[in-house]
Amino acid sequence: MPVVTQSEGMSRRELLSRSGVVATAVATVPLIGADALAEEAPGEVGVRMTVNGTVTPLTVDPRETLLDVLRERLRLTGTKKGCDRGQCGACTVHVDGERVVSCLTLVATLGGARVTTIEGLADGDRLHPLQQAFIDHDGFQCGFCTPGQIMSAAAVIEDGRARTDDQIREQMSGNICRCSAYPGIVAAVQQARKEMR
Ligand code: FES
Ligand code: FES
């Protein structure tokens, strides 16, 4: 699936330029969510993705980012908009289990995808181990970067790439914390990693 990950570090302008292919494709091929096409206005495309376990059919402008759809249309405002250009990690969510920066992910490419945001991480009233660990270790100050930090850490732990403090710092380097809560973040990831094994 042509989503853009943090590590690729592409600016939004570059992405939109490269994804001219997306605009061309959606104009010619009924590639996404054909059952949602009936409601489309000219220039829009239908897309049906699953967001936090709920099937979510939408009609979208091919230029709309996942971040804007999550925040502005689905009111899932836990995902934060920091730089809006792939540089801070505040908007990190999971698409099919992989972390992506949602500000550089065009929602029109996500037909059939499974999207998880910070709102979908807890088990009912029970916090995810990472959420509890961030509280236990003061892994935040203002908290603005925290949803992205937690989503990024969840993917890194699942992939087994966060065994040492150095690995955690390296793998989480795309998630910037302006409050410099990094020692607490590393400690929190270590605690959660042990609980998630
Ligand atoms: S990386 Fe998406 S808002 Fe900064
Ligand atoms: S806690 Fe403030 S930016 Fe990270």
The per-residue pLDDT for range 22-44, each reduced to its tens digit, is 333 333 333 344 444 446 778 89
Query: Ligand 2 centroid vs 147 CA: distance in angstroms?
Result: 10
DSSP states of 36-77 = GGGGPPTT-EEEEEEETTEEEEEEE-TT-BHHHIIIIIS--T
**Which atom number of ligand 1 is nearest to the Cα of residue 84?**
3
Question: What's the token pair of residue 15?
Answer: 């992405």
**Fold for the domain defined by 129-196:** DNA polymerase; domain 1 (1.10.150)
Q: Which ligand is nearest to the CA of 101?
A: 1
* In the predicted structure, residue 8 carries a pLDDT above the cut 60: no
- Which run of H or of E encompasses 129? helix 129-136
- DSSP-derived letter for residue 85 is S
Ligand 2 neighbour 182 (Cβ under 6 A): no
Going by CATH, does the domain composed of 6-119 fall within 3.10.20.30? yes
CATH 3.10.20.30 range(s) for the chain read 6-119
Residue 120 CB less than 6 A away from ligand 1: no
CA of 84 to the centre of ligand 1 (A): 4
Cα 10 from Cα 88, distance rounded (Å): 12
* Ligand nearest to the backbone CA of 144: 2
Contacts of 3 (CB under 8 A, 6+ apart): 95, 98, 100, 105, 109, 110
How does pLDDT run across 77-136, given as a tens digit for each residue?
999 999 999 999 999 999 999 999 999 999 999 999 999 999 999 999 999 999 999 999
> Which pair of structure tokens corresponds to residue 24?
């061309």
Residue among 118, 178, 180, 182 to mutate when testing ligand 2 (max atoms within 8 A of CB) = 178
Looking at residue 5, its pLDDT comes to 52
Provide the pLDDT for residue 88. Answer: 98
| Nearest ligand 1 atom, CA 176 | 4
Nearest residue to 168 via CA among 151, 186, 183: 186
